[in-house]
Chain A
Amino acid sequence: MRKVMTGNYASAYGAKAARAEVIPAYPITPQTSIVEKLAEFVSTGELKAKFVPVESEHSAMAACVSASILGARTYTATSSHGLALMHEVLMWASNARLPVVMTNVSRAMAPPWSVWADHMDSVAERDTGWMQFFCESNQEVLDTIIMAYKVCESRGIMLPAMIIEDAFILSHTSEPVDVPDQDTVDSFLPSYDPEIKLEIGKPMGFGSLVRPDQYMEFRYKSMLAMREARDRIVSVEDEFRQAFGRSYGGLLDEYMCDDAEVALVAAGSVAGTVRTVVDKLRAKGMKVGLARIRAFRPFPFQEFQSLAGRVSGMAVLDRSFTHGAAGAFFTEIQGALYDAPKRPAMKNYIAGLGGRDITPDVIEGIFEDILVRCERGSDPEPEWLDVAGLPRRRS
């Protein structure tokens, strides 16, 4: 069934389609309409679930963790400061190997207060052991939630996943979205049959103290699971395509990269703008492409090595900044390419913080600059784009 809906409603419809059973929720702009919609689904009986109105995001994730330990499929949604408050329990969820799925409406961190799009909140949680999926469209948000449960609940994986939609640009913008047929979803995603859970009549402590001589083995298992998730994400997406006719390019979604001289790497909603610019420049005969980071965790190492073998220049657009270093996407891609047979010229561009629009002419300017870099070589300094007081780079 096709409906016009916001990214937030797409999240809510995704959680509903996945038949989330326990939904602890706390409001925060611009996430709130997700949990409002889910509260409505539960109150009308459209979704058979427990909606738990908790008193903080920390408690939202803690309730998800405990419900998941009891074997319930859990969902919640948050944004920025709410995600930061959850930090401790995010690690709890992944270290306890619980397939919690959550939407993070990616938003800037204060101060200054800003409720607008920015990836700092999500990027700051990259080390928590969660899979992270950046979405480009509302349809992708809905579909990725369904796929994420299947990946997360897989035997041998059992890790949580964060579905990331950009504040307002997706969360509050309406697009046509196909709400998949429930029977098809049910056969694609069977009810949760946990690999581990706590049961009455089985005395056990779930998550107990271990000595230094045993801790690393548990973390090693988590590492193996996240590594295995790479293939699983791809195979689940393939199954999804067969069932629903849609797919999103695996961990790294390439657009016009096969014969590209330069590629712009980006994540989230800006990818849509980049596609338009690529089309425009291609029409002018410029060999440019887009490489969209869809999964930031697990990180697409092989995909980037493959891309590096094909392009001469790689522009990396970060919508966040790791102070004292560079954009997180950039440093990670650099790391991934260290032992690549061929390394392109690279440069990091910082743009769109705190919801600033990343306009087509800004993107065109990046492409023009990176084409020059192919001759001159990499630039070690990240360039902040469209900052008042700095020279403007525009096409």
Chain B
Amino acid sequence: MSRVTIPEVEHAYPGSTGCPGCGANLVMRYLLKGLGERTILTIPACCWAVMPGYWPSHCLKVPMVYCAFEATGASLSGIRAALDMKGVEDVTVVGFAGDGGTVDIGLQALSGAAERGTDAIYVMYDNEAYMNTGIQRSGATPWGAWTTTTPVGSSRDYKREPKKDIMSIMEAHGIPYAATVSVAHPEDFVKKAKKAKDARGLKFIHALSPCPPGWKMNPMKTIEIARLAVDTNVFPLYEVENGRLRITKKGKGLPIEDYLSTQGRFRHLTEEEVKRMQESVDSSLKALEEREAREG
């Protein structure tokens, strides 16, 4: 007997034009397994605006609106308002945007949708740079990473600023549900998608989405690297439900080198810099654990 641990139903067709090993394809696949077919997506400029393929190709079994880059939050509110006017209540409205479209150009509209309490799920698939335009730094690019706009020349001018803490930003809006998810842990992902679907208001899901070309990694390692991100505590899996935080999957506490060494974008880092990153990861995890203990 086979051991299927996530819903078998597929809401995605093969033939999407995402890169081989694309994490964002998996984010969509797991998300829809959790949400089901009565879902409407709105997607701004990002890899996923290209991945359904050229007209008339569509790689999903649910309807999808293409919206302007910075407009996902507003698009969510517009869709929900139209459904309300038509008396349709059993549809999940989802904004699905990249990290640049979320933490940078789309932050205002997202904040507006959260403040308005638009009943929708906003999913940020985070490949940690502007990947659709070809690997430029975003506010979600981690400290120390190479991108084409943080090149590592003789000045070693890699990204010098820490990754924007979008989970805290969203939490500060007092939203009912926020969660981090990983493509290496689809069971946890699907469970959180269902929880988000059942909560009312604006829900936020932060999905780490490995990008083989952008991270300078082997496409076969997408799951392995996503798993390492959790196990090195670079990307802890947790949820915040009505303000209470719970870590949903403990990492193994592996050293951060195990994660960094899998990706060319971190190759230039010195031992000292890796140590600094380890300290940063450790203190973030400590803060999470302390908070969980307080609220648990």
**Taking beta carbons and an 8 Å cutoff, which residues of A are in contact with B?**
21-22, 24, 48-50, 52-56, 58-60, 62-72, 74, 88-89, 92, 198-211, 214
Chain B hits for A202, CB < 8 A: 63
Pick the interface stretch among B77-85, B192-200, B212-220, B266-274: B77-85
| Nearest CB in chain B to that of A214: its residue | B55
Chain A hits for B85, CB < 8 A: 21-22, 48-50, 72
6 residue pairs, one from A and one from B, having the closest CB atoms: A66-B78, A55-B112, A59-B74, A63-B78, A62-B71, A70-B82
Q: From B61, B81, B84, give the contact of A24 (CB < 8 A).
A: B81
Q: From A21, A48, A54, A210, give the contact of B74 (CB < 8 A).
A: A54
A121 CB to nearest B CB, Å: 20
- C-beta contact mask, B70-104 vs A, less than 8 Å → 1, else 0? 11011111110111111010010000000000000
B52 touches A58 (CB 8 A): no
Q: Besides A67-B79, A205-B55, A209-B54, 16 other CB < 8 A contacts?
A: A50-B85, A52-B77, A58-B74, A59-B109, A62-B71, A62-B75, A63-B81, A66-B42, A66-B65, A66-B79, A71-B82, A74-B78, A198-B63, A200-B63, A203-B58, A206-B64
B40 touches A198 (CB 8 A): yes
A207 CB to nearest B CB, Å: 4
A18 CB to nearest B CB, Å: 14
A207 touches B65 (CB 8 A): yes
B70 touches A58 (CB 8 A): yes
Chain A hits for B71, CB < 8 A: 58-59, 62, 65, 89
A66 touches B108 (CB 8 A): no
Distance between Cα atoms of A281 and B76 in the complex (Å) = 57
A52 touches B63 (CB 8 A): no
B111 touches A55 (CB 8 A): yes
B82 touches A67 (CB 8 A): yes
Chain A hits for B70, CB < 8 A: 58
- C-beta contact mask, B19-44 vs A, less than 8 Å → 1, else 0? 00000000000000000011010100
A51 CB to nearest B CB, Å: 9
Whether B291 is near chain A, meaning CB under 8 Å from some CB there, is no
Distance between Cα atoms of A130 and B16 in the complex (Å) = 34
B65 touches A50 (CB 8 A): no
A65 touches B50 (CB 8 A): no
Q: From B52, B54, B83, B116, give the contact of A211 (CB < 8 A).
A: B54
Distance between Cα atoms of A65 and B70 in the complex (Å) = 14
A120 CB to nearest B CB, Å: 24
Chain A hits for B54, CB < 8 A: 208-211
Distance between Cα atoms of A71 and B56 in the complex (Å) = 21
B111 CB to nearest A CB, Å: 7
Chain B hits for A214, CB < 8 A: 55
Distance between Cα atoms of A201 and B60 in the complex (Å) = 12
Whether B68 is near chain A, meaning CB under 8 Å from some CB there, is yes
Q: From B82, B88, B109, give the contact of A62 (CB < 8 A).
A: B109
A65 touches B75 (CB 8 A): yes
A208 touches B65 (CB 8 A): no
Whether B67 is near chain A, meaning CB under 8 Å from some CB there, is yes
Chain A hits for B116, CB < 8 A: 52-54
Whether B287 is near chain A, meaning CB under 8 Å from some CB there, is no
29 A-B Cβ contacts within 8 A? A21-B85, A22-B78, A24-B77, A24-B78, A48-B85, A50-B82, A56-B108, A58-B68, A58-B71, A59-B108, A62-B67, A62-B71, A62-B109, A65-B67, A65-B71, A66-B75, A66-B82, A67-B79, A70-B82, A72-B85, A203-B63, A204-B63, A204-B64, A205-B58, A208-B52, A208-B57, A208-B58, A209-B50, A209-B53
Candidate in B38, B40, B68, B74 with the most chain A CB atoms within 10 angstroms: B74
B75 touches A52 (CB 8 A): no
Distance between Cα atoms of A143 and B74 in the complex (Å) = 29
Whether B49 is near chain A, meaning CB under 8 Å from some CB there, is yes
A205 and B52 in contact, given A56-B112, A63-B74, A64-B78 (Cβ under 8 angstroms): yes
